[in-house]
Amino acid sequence: MLVHLDRNRMSLFEVDQSNLYAMMLDVAEHKIGLRKKQRRHPGRRNADDEVKAIAEWIRKHSDKLTRGEKPITFRQLDKILRTFNYFTDNPHNNSIDIVRYEIRPKGFLRRGEIATRIHVTTIPFPGEGKTVPLSIVKFVRKRCQLREEDGVDSPSFYDDRVVIDAFINRYRTILRRLANK
């Protein structure tokens, strides 16, 4: 199913490993699409009804993957990166750092925590209101692991849509690579 969705440039959203497992279990037990009262004694079902229920589940939980970049300002880029816990910091000489902070134990006895600044990359920065070149957006998404391959398609990046679950994304990309061999 994941390979079929991937070949049609679609993926499952708002579905994690447990949701997928429950759906597969319902399919195997011929209980998908039944109400709670019907689940106790499912009886004999028409195969077409089961296929319709599976199709409805997929339609409800899947959506088209959108690829590509769109023009944004540096101010918008900063706002987007903050939603993924990356920050723009230290503007200097027409450039700015992109950093993330990791919480690590503090001291020898590990009492308390300290936020450690981790430098991810440096990009050109002509000013907050200026448009970010698309090549820089692509570079930032690659360095921050916010690309479609990492489970963040364009609407998830630009429009704050739900990110693809890591389990589904991992197996979707593995199955794609196996299908190409």
Per the CB < 8 A criterion, the answer to whether 11 and 5 are in contact is: yes
166-180 and 17-28 helices cross at what angle (nearest 10)? 70
The chain-wide mean pLDDT, for the chain, equals 81
Q: What is the mean pLDDT of residues 70-74?
A: 89
- The per-residue DSSP string of 130-178 comes to SBPPHHHHHHHHHHTT-SGGGT--HHHHHS-PPPPPHHHHHHHHHHHHH
User: In which band, very low, low, confident or very high, does the pLDDT at 31 lie, cut at 50, 70 and 90?
Assistant: confident
How many CA atoms lie within 13 Å of 25's alpha carbon, on the beta-carbon side?
7
Starting at the edge strand found earlier in the chain, the sheet holding 87-92 runs 87-92, 95-105, 113-124
The pTM of this model reads: 0.63
Which pLDDT does position 97 carry in this prediction?
Answer: 94
Residue 73 is classified by DSSP as B
Q: Considering only residues 44 and 51, tell me which one the structure prediction assigns the higher pLDDT.
A: 51
CA distance 26 to 35: 12
CA 111, 116, 120: angle at the middle one, nearest 5? 160
User: In which band, very low, low, confident or very high, does the pLDDT at 20 lie, cut at 50, 70 and 90?
Assistant: confident
Checking if the pLDDT of 39 tops 60, the result is: no
Checking if the pLDDT of 42 tops 60, the result is: no
pLDDT in tens, 125-153: 998 889 999 999 999 999 999 887 787 87
Q: What is the mean pLDDT of residues 5-28?
A: 80
The residue extents of the domains of the chain are: 2-65, 74-152
Instruction: List Cα–Cα distances, 70 to 11, 64, 78, 156, in angstroms.
Output: 21, 17, 15, 13
Which pLDDT does position 95 carry in this prediction?
Answer: 93
Which pLDDT does position 120 carry in this prediction?
Answer: 93
pLDDT in tens, 98-133: 999 988 887 777 678 888 889 999 999 998 889 999
Per the CB < 8 A criterion, the answer to whether 100 and 86 are in contact is: yes
Per the CB < 8 A criterion, the answer to whether 10 and 66 are in contact is: no
- Percentage of the chain modeled with pLDDT above 90: 26
